[in-house]
Amino acid sequence: MADVAKFYGKAFVSAFNKEIDFNSDTMKAMLCSASYTPDQDTHQYKSDVTSEITGTGYTAGGLTLANCTISYDGATNTLKLDCDDFSWGPGATFTARTLVVYDATPGSDATRPLIMYVTFNADIPVTSSTFSSTVNSGGLCTVTIS
């Protein structure tokens, strides 16, 4: 089974309610253990996320994503959220199963909208190393509008 990346369904509710500004708010990526089970249909805010990892080289709340952009390609009817590659380390020591992207700008975890998540095929351990995520040319995540 391959890694699975999905939008949280309520990310679109949050976006249309003007709770997310992907271009100018602070977007973060956090890591969770295998104990967290994302619920695509009901999880909407960071307070819904459990089992954030701890470990050397990891700061609670995750790291800030750089150069976040949103674009639309009319030829393919594709909306693309993009950012720079990101990593924890060198020297990181922890184990992660799920990566969660959220808008960290609003005041508290109960008002910080979730955007998307990636559930890895297996636990990913790093020991005195670097945990990295490469954002491919297709962007962090895309939506095809039909």
**pLDDT at site 37:** 96
Query: How far apart, in Å, are the Cα atoms of 9 and each of 68, 84, 88, 119?
Result: 20, 24, 27, 16
Provide the residue count of the chain: 146
Q: Three-state DSSP class for 16?
A: helix
Provide the 10 A C-beta neighbour count for residue 83. 20
Q: How far apart are CA 108 and CA 47, in angstroms?
A: 8
Are 49 and 32 in contact, with CB atoms under 8 Å apart? yes
- Burial of 141 (C-beta count, 10 Å sphere; 0-12/13-18/19+): buried
Residues facing residue 30 across a β-bridge: 100
Q: Which residue, chain included where needed, has tokens 């190393």? A: 129
| Strand ranges in 2-105 using DSSP code E only, listed in sequence order | 4-7, 27-32, 63-64, 69-73, 78-82, 86-103
Which residue numbers in the chain have pLDDT < 50? none
Classified as helix, coil or strand, 51 is coil
Predicted pLDDT at 2: 61
pLDDT for 84 equals 92
Q: Bridge-partner residues for 56, per DSSP?
A: 93
The pTM (predicted TM-score) of the whole model is 0.94
